[in-house]
């Protein structure tokens, strides 16, 4: 038996590593900017000059070439913090709801040495800006990028060296207009009825349930590398018995010849494996595997892979160092289970948003750390990045704390048949390229989600999702792929292609409102139908109910905390039956209340959070906490049972 298991393990490793060579098709990397002996980072966060182009045709800024001079010379500017959404920073409702171009500008002092040293690359990087961005340096266009939530960068060293005496003026124009071909899709409609709307009045329709926050959402920075540099690193990991296997590939740019030294170090800085080849397999004896939070006493174990390059471009010699955190783990899916390191993993977690008061979707360390503390307090072991990629810093936290991630692209609200066309698909494939390129090395990321609740019953959905999912698997054959389906779409054309069925349902909320007693019947049927049809493991990827904090009623009525609690508990009783069969996870909608567009069903935003937007618990948070810690003890494989409870018990952290 053991011999057979070992043989199967070896087969898995061979298949996994064989697939590796055929993939990672992208031609350049997007390594997270890190300081090292050869690399410096200069953050450009803080106050930028800001001006919205509110001209009637929304185009005056281009007609008048605002990028050519200082923004303050084009008209009145205001202070705008970066990173932050601009929407909630002022008292101006017109700016909160603004659609069109906004302009950010800042002058930067570039260290003289960076300019003087021709062997230094100076890279300008924007962590994310929503949605379409154009960047100029000293009035010269240097790059543009379509899509929020993902980084883009450009080398500007040669440009700033042209005239080292001019200050480096960075101008970024950002446009939040969404079309049927963007991700997420949206639509602008001009209103023609002059008895109701003035000339030029338009609205942007969106098909998703969160505020369309805009602006520069994540850090902007300059960083340096030598002219010959480590451009990308890819790692795929597995293990056999006690030996960890790290298959890696380093790609280098700017060098004619060079030597590479790769050293894998453990947490104490001891070298555990090394190589002098640009690609290969590192073997780690007595490996410390990367385990999820609550599945092991020592979750989130990370090694450091130090890549040291010495290269020459024919004239000079350059030295570059980059250190990548590496977690060694495996992921696999069977028809009824999700396996991490060959052990069944049950997702007990949350869906989140990047969303908070004042900052909107702006990156904010205090908020991020608070959220992790709340996740761990609750006993959550996972979350889905609903409905778009989150900041890389958040994924790094997940790596370190062992929080498992379903990494979702911004394919939310694909509801119009025109959003299944070729242009949309091409953009969706590009976005998946960018997402996988950015997040491929995170051990916490265990599955890709290519969309949320698309109109997957429409005829074009079949080709669209077959292409999209196949492409994602070509990019990364090591992780399962899913998209999130709405339980109403009984005729789901994409489901045959996914590895895991993720299903959202809101019984007794959007249907049969007030009829809590129907939840067990309807949920049970939901699971049986999906499993019966596809024989794939299922995650309840959303469920929940709005609760206005402090609103009470017994017997429960909608929008009270009691109603939210009963919804959760009714779902939980069915999960408890089905998790013994093929249900592999439950993710509450939502971790915290979040802002939405104004509408009849939203009282200052979506209130399905188990925490308020200010991160205070509703009663439901305590229900989940009690449940998640219990699940951790039952499913976490810590060796817990009543008899050995003393030796390994997961302790409540209070
Ligand atoms: C789901 C959507 C999510 C919404 C939620 C709701 O995926 O974005 O916020 O419904 O209505 O269908 O609360």
- Nearest atom (ligand 1) to Cα of 452: 7
Q: Ligand 1: which residue has its CA nearest to atom 4?
A: 209
pLDDT at 9: 58
- For residue 510, the ligand 1 atom closest to its alpha carbon is 11
* pLDDT at residue 647 is higher than 90: no
User: What Å distances lie between residue 181 and 54, 64, 184, 185, 419, CA to CA?
Assistant: 24, 28, 8, 6, 6
Q: Ligand 1 pocket test: which of 504, 511, 547, 594 has the largest number of ligand atoms within 8 Å of its C-beta?
A: 504
Joined together, the tokens standing for residue 635 give 């499913």
* Distance in angstroms (rounded) separating the CA atoms of residues 151 and 129: 8
Q: SS3 of 262, please? A: strand
Under the banding of pLDDT at 50, 70 and 90, the label for residue 644 is very low
Retrieve residue 152's tokens: 């883009």
Whether the pLDDT of residue 650 is over 60: the answer is: no
CA distances from 640 to 30, 293, 377, 467 (A): 42, 15, 20, 44
Tokens of residue 357, six digits: 């008061």
Q: From ligand 1's centre to the CA of 494, what distance in Å?
A: 20
Give strand pairing partners of 259.
310
Instruction: Tell how strand 168-175 and strand 132-137 pair up.
Output: antiparallel
Of all protein residues, the one whose alpha carbon is nearest to atom 2 of ligand 1 is 209
Instruction: Mention every residue, 6+ apart, whose C-beta is less than 8 A from residue 589.
Output: 351, 386, 504, 542, 543, 544, 608
For residue 4, the tally of other CB atoms under 10 A from its CB is 8
Take residue 160 and report the two structure tokens written for it: 């700033």
Percent of the chain exceeding pLDDT 90 equals 89
- Give me the sheet containing 229-240, strands edge to edge: 229-240, 243-253, 279-284
Q: Residue 150 in contact with residue 412, Cβ under 8 Å?
A: no
Burial of 108 from C-beta contacts in 10 A (0-12 / 13-18 / 19+): middle
Nearest CA-CA partner of 570 in 633, 512, 526, 521: 521
Residue nearest to atom 8 of ligand 1 (CA): 209
- Each residue's pLDDT tens digit, 537-554: 999 999 999 999 999 999
Tens-place pLDDT, residues 324-337: 999 999 999 999 99
Residue 209 Cα to ligand 1 middle (Å): 6
Predicted confidence at residue 638, as pLDDT, reads: 57
- Helix, strand or coil for residue 193? coil
Give the distance, in angstroms, between the CA of residue 397 and the centroid of all CA atoms in the same chain. Answer: 12
pLDDT at 164: 83
Ligand 1 centroid–CA 504 distance in Å is 8
Residue 427 CA to residue 422 CA, distance in Å, equals: 9
Helix (H, G, I), strand (E, B) or coil at 495: helix
Taking CA atoms only, the protein residue closest to ligand 1 atom 10 is 209
Nearest-atom number in ligand 1 for the CA of 544 is 13
Inform me whether the pLDDT recorded for 645 exceeds 80.
no
Helix locations, 241-391, DSSP H: 365-378
- Could you give the count of Cα atoms lying within 13 Å of 259 in the half-sphere of its Cβ? 3
Q: Are 610 and 525 in contact (CB under 8 A)?
A: no
Show the tokens assigned to 297: 């006493």
Mutate to test the pocket of ligand 1, among 353, 540, 589, 596 (most ligand atoms within 8 A of CB): 589
For the chain, the maximum distance between any two Cα atoms, rounded to a whole number of angstroms, is 80
Q: Determine the Cα–Cα distance for residues 120 and 224; give it in Å rounded to an integer.
A: 6
* CA nearest neighbour of 290 among 250, 235, 222, 249: 235
Q: How far apart are CA 232 and CA 440, in angstroms?
A: 11
CB 462 within 8 A of CB 413: no
Residue nearest ligand 1's atom 5 by CA: 209
User: Among the atoms of ligand 1, which is closest to the Cα of residue 208?
Assistant: 8
Instruction: Please tell me whether residue 309 adopts helix, strand or coil conformation.
Output: strand
Token pair of 163 as six digits: 């005239």
Give the closest residue (by CA) to ligand 1 atom 11: 209
Buried b (16+ CB within 10 A) or exposed e, 413-431: bbbbeebbeeebbebbeeb
Closest CA to 122 of 43, 46, 41: 41
Q: How far, in Å, from the CA of 602 to the mean position of ligand 1?
A: 12
Q: Residue with the nearest Cα to atom 6 of ligand 1? A: 209
Q: How far is the CA of 455 from the centre of ligand 1 (A)?
A: 14
Structure-model confidence comparison of residues 489 and 590, the more confident one:
590
Other residues' Cβ atoms within 10 Å of the Cβ of residue 241: 8
Please give the residue that has the higher pLDDT: either 319 or 27.
319
pLDDT digits (tens, 9 = 90+) for 429-444: 999 999 999 999 999 9
Q: Which of 503, 501, 478, 406 is nearest to 447 (CA)?
A: 406
pLDDT (mean) for 566-575: 98
For the CA of 596, the nearest atom of ligand 1 = 9
453, 542, 561, 586: the catalytic one is 453
Q: Is the pLDDT at 651 greater than 60, yes or no?
A: no
Taking Cα atoms as reference points, which of 172, 165, 97 lies closest to residue 134?
A: 172
CA of 208 to the centre of ligand 1 (A): 8
| Residue 453 falls in the annotated catalytic set | yes
Closest CA to 218 of 348, 331, 82, 97: 82
105: exposed, middle or buried (Cβ count in 10 Å: 0-12, 13-18, 19+): buried
pTM: 0.94
Atom number of ligand 1 nearest to Cα 486: 12
* d(C-alpha 527, C-alpha 239), whole Å: 34
281-331 per-position pLDDT tens digit: 999 999 999 999 999 999 999 999 999 999 998 889 999 999 999 999 999
| pLDDT level of residue 23 (50, 70, 90 thresholds) | very low
Alpha carbon of 447 to ligand 1 centroid (Å)? 20
Instruction: Give the pocket of ligand 1 (CB within 6 Å).
Output: 209, 387, 452-453, 504, 542, 589, 606, 608
Q: Which residues pair with 143 in a beta bridge?
A: 135
CB 583 within 8 A of CB 539: yes
Mutational test site, ligand 1, from 350, 410, 542, max ligand atoms within 8 Å of CB? 542
**Which distant-in-sequence residues (6+ apart) come within 8 Å of 645 by Cβ?**
none
Which of left, alpha, beta for 637 (phi over 0: left; psi -120 to 50: alpha)?
Answer: left
Distance 410 CA to ligand 1 centre (A): 14
Contact 294, 627 (CB under 8 A): no
Does residue 321 have a cis bond before it (omega within 30 degrees)?
no
* Tokens representing residue 503 in the block: 């299903």
What are the pLDDT digits (tens) for 434-489? 999 999 999 999 999 999 999 999 999 999 999 999 999 999 999 999 999 988 76
Mutate to test the pocket of ligand 1, among 206, 209, 354 (most ligand atoms within 8 A of CB): 209
Give the number of the atom of ligand 1 that is nearest the alpha carbon of residue 387. Answer: 8
Alpha-carbon separation of residue 87 from 99, 106, 295 (angstroms) = 10, 19, 41
pLDDT of residue 463: 96
Kindly tell me the sign of the dihedral angle through the C-alpha atoms of 137, 139, 142, 143.
positive
Q: Cβ distance 284 to 274 under 8 Å?
A: no
Residue 216 confidence (pLDDT) above 90: yes
| Per-residue pLDDT tens digits for 339-394 | 999 999 999 999 999 999 999 999 999 999 999 999 999 999 999 999 999 999 99
Q: Residue 167's pLDDT is what?
A: 87
To test the pocket of ligand 1, the residue of 545, 606, 613 to mutate (highest count of ligand atoms within 8 Å of its CB) is 606
Ligand 1 atom 3, closest CA: 209
Q: What is the pLDDT of residue 20?
A: 53
- Whether residue 13 is predicted with pLDDT greater than 60 in this model: the reply is no
Separation of CA 276 and ligand 1 centre (Å): 50
- Cα 269 to Cα 271: distance, rounded to the nearest angstrom: 6
Distances from the Cα of 159 to the Cα of 70, 134, 142, 223, 342, angstroms: 18, 16, 9, 15, 52
């Amino acid at each position: 038996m053991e011999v057979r298991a070992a043989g199967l393990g070896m087969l898995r490793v061979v298949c996994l590593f064989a697939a590796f060579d055929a993939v990672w098709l992208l031609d350049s990397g997007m390594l997270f900017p890190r300081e090292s002996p050869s690399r410096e980072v200069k953050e450009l966060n803080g106050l930028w000059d800001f001006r919205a182009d509110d001209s009637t045709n929304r185009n005056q800024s281009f007609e008048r070439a605002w990028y050519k001079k200082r923004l303050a010379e084009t008209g009145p500017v205001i202070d705008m913090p970066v990173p932050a959404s601009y929407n909630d920073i002022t008292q101006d409702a017109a700016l909160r709801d603004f659609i069109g171009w906004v302009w950010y500008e800042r002058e930067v002092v570039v260290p003289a040495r960076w300019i003087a040293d021709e062997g230094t690359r100076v890279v300008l990087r924007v962590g994310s800006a929503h949605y379409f961005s154009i960047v100029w340096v000293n009035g010269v266009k240097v790059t543009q990028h379509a899509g929020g939530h993902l980084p883009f960068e450009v080398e500007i060293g040669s440009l700033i060296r042209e005239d080292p005496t001019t200050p480096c003026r960075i101008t970024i124009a950002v446009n939040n207009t969404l079309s049927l071909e963007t991700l997420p899709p949206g639509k602008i409609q001009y209103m023609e009825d002059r008895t109701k709307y003035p000339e030029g009045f338009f609205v942007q329709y969106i098909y998703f349930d969160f505020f369309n926050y805009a602006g520069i959402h994540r850090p902007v920075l300059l960083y340096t590398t030598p002219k010959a540099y480590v451009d990308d690193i890819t790692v795929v990991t597995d293990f056999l018995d006690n030996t960890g296997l790290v298959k890696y590939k380093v790609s280098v740019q700017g060098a004619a010849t060079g030597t590479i030294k790769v050293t894998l170090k453990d947490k104490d800085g001891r070298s555990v494996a090394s190589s002098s080849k640009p690609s290969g397999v590192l073997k780690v004896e007595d490996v410390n595997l990367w385990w999820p939070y609550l599945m092991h006493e020592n979750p989130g174990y990370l090694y450091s892979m130090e890549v040291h390059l010495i290269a020459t471009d024919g004239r000079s010699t350059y030295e570059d160092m980059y250190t990548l955190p590496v977690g060694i783990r495996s992921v696999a899916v069977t028809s009824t289970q999700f396996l991490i390191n060959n052990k069944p993993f049950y997702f007990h977690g949350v869906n989140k948003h990047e969303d908070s008061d004042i900052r909107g979707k702006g990156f904010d360390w205090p908020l991020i750390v608070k959220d992790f503390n709340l996740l761990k307090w609750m006993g959550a072991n996972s979350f889905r990045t609903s409905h778009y990629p989150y900041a890389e810093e958040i994924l790094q936290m997940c790596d370190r704390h062992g929080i498992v991630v379903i990494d979702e692209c911004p394919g939310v609200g694909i509801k119009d048949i025109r959003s299944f066309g070729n242009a949309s698909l091409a953009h969706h494939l590009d976005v998946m390229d960018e997402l996988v390129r950015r997040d491929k090395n995170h051990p916490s990321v265990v599955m890709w989600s290519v969309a949320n609740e698309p109109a997957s019953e429409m005829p074009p959905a079949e080709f669209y999702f077959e292409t999209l999912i196949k492409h994602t698997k070509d990019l990364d054959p090591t992780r399962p792929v899913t998209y999130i389906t709405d339980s109403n779409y009984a005729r789901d054309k994409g489901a045959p292609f996914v590895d895991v069925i993720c299903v959202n349902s809101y019984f007794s909320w959007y249907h049969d409102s007030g009829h809590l007693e129907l939840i067990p019947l309807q949920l049970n049927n939901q699971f049986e139908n999906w499993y019966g049809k596809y024989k794939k493991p299922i995650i309840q990827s959303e469920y929940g109910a709005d609760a206005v904090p402090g609103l009470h009623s017994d017997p429960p009525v909608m929008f009270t905390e009691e109603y939210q609690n009963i919804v959760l508990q009714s779902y939980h009783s069915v999960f408890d039956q089905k998790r013994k069969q093929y249900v592999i996870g439950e993710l509450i909608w939502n971790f915290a209340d979040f802002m939405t567009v104004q509408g009849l069903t939203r009282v200052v935003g979506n209130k399905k959070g188990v925490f308020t937007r200010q991160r205070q618990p509703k009663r439901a948070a305590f229900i989940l906490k009690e449940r998640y810690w219990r699940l951790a003890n039952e499913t976490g494989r810590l060796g817990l049972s009543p008899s050995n409870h003393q030796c390994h018990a997961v302790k409540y952290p209070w």
